[in-house]
Amino acid sequence: AQSVTQPDIHITVSEGASLELRCNYSYGATPYLFWYVQSPGQGLQLLLKYFSGDTLVQGIKGFEAEFKRSQSSFNLRKPSVHWSDAAEYFCAVTSGGSYIPTFGRGTSLIVHP
């Protein structure tokens, strides 16, 4: 069965610092990979997704993620974090065999002024 691991439960960064949130997946077939963001009191919103082509994908709000097949990773990055980026971030995976997304546990981002 496919699985998604987000090893960091909480990440704390200072405003203006760079950010990397880790995501590892376990699946044999070519995965479809997603990052969602959940702001406080809101539902999840798509940041970006990857399923083919350039392994570096750009998303909304200045986020990007890089697919590394050799490491089974799809880490989310942002060069300079803003206080408004404080939220919960979820990595998700689907595959050609199952259209149903599997979500990671989530990483809570805390931004210090």
Partner 1 sequence: DAGVIQSPRHEVTEMGQEVTLRCKPISGHDYLFWYRQTMMRGLELLIYFNNNVPIDDSGMPEDRFSAKMPNASFSTLKIQPSEPRDSAVYFCASISLAGGPGNEQFFGPGTRLTVL
CA 12 to chain centre: 16
Nearer to partner 1, 13 or 34 (CB): 34
The answer to whether residue 1 forms part of the interface with partner 1 (CB under 8 A) is no
CB of 14 to partner 1, least distance (A): 25
List, in sequence order, the alpha helices (H) in the chain.
none
Q: Which stretch binds partner 1 (CB under 8 A): 17-25, 46-54, 65-73, 77-85?
A: 46-54
CB of 43 to partner 1, least distance (A): 3
Residues belonging to the chain: 113
- Which long-range contacts (C-beta less than 8 Å, at least 24 apart) are formed by 67-70? 67/33
Q: How many helices (H) and strands (E) does the chain have?
A: 0, 12
Chain residues in the site for partner 1 (CB under 8 A) = 32, 34, 36, 41-46, 49, 51, 90, 92, 94-96, 98-101, 103, 105-106
